[in-house]
């Protein structure tokens, strides 16, 4: 499998934070913001959004591991995204234009830059199932 695009530097010093600092920030800042973001798109589906919504079983085992294998896996590359555009255009648009940029900002990363292939991308949350051209 090809290497993942680098996420780039973190402007918040996330890697230096303690687990307790990260957990507090996620609960007080990220979760409420993400709840609002997702509820604006699908209010019923995301009426009850918790840590498990994004982190899945990683909450129970305390790892909060990302990308989360419980989220839908994504075929990387042009064909994978063309298929998403064909089958789920609203979801793809929402994830690329709203969720990705806003989550990057909340976590202190730059938005994904397709030209440089760096920044916060789909693959920080979703497992990439290979790459198709």
- With 60 as the cut, is the pLDDT of residue 1 above it? no
Contact between residue 125 and residue 67 where contact means Cβ atoms under 8 Å apart? yes
Nearest one of 87, 65, 37 to 29, comparing CA atoms: 37
50-79 pLDDT per residue, tens: 999 999 999 999 999 999 999 999 988 888
Q: How far apart are the first and last CA of the chain?
A: 13
Provide the number of structural domains found in the chain.
1
20-44 pLDDT per residue, tens: 999 999 999 999 999 999 999 999 9
Q: Is the pTM of this model over 0.85?
A: yes
For residue 109, being part of any structural domain is answered with yes
For residue 68, being part of any structural domain is answered with yes
For residue 118, being part of any structural domain is answered with yes
For residue 9, being part of any structural domain is answered with no
For residue 2, being part of any structural domain is answered with no
């Amino acid at each position: 499998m090809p290497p993942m695009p680098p996420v780039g530097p973190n402007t918040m010093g996330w890697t230096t934070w303690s687990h307790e600092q990260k957990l507090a920030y996620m609960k007080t800042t990220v979760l409420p913001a993400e709840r609002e973001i997702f509820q604006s798109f699908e209010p019923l589906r995301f009426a009850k959004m918790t840590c498990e919504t994004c982190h899945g079983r990683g909450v129970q085992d305390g790892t909060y591991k990302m990308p989360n294998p419980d989220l839908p896996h994504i075929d990387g590359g042009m064909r994978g995204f063309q298929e998403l555009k064909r089958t789920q255009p609203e979801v793809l648009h929402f994830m690329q234009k709203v969720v990705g940029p806003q989550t990057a900002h909340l976590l202190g990363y730059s938005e994904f830059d397709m030209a440089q292939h760096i920044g916060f991308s789909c693959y920080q949350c979703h497992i990439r199932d290979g790459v198709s051209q």
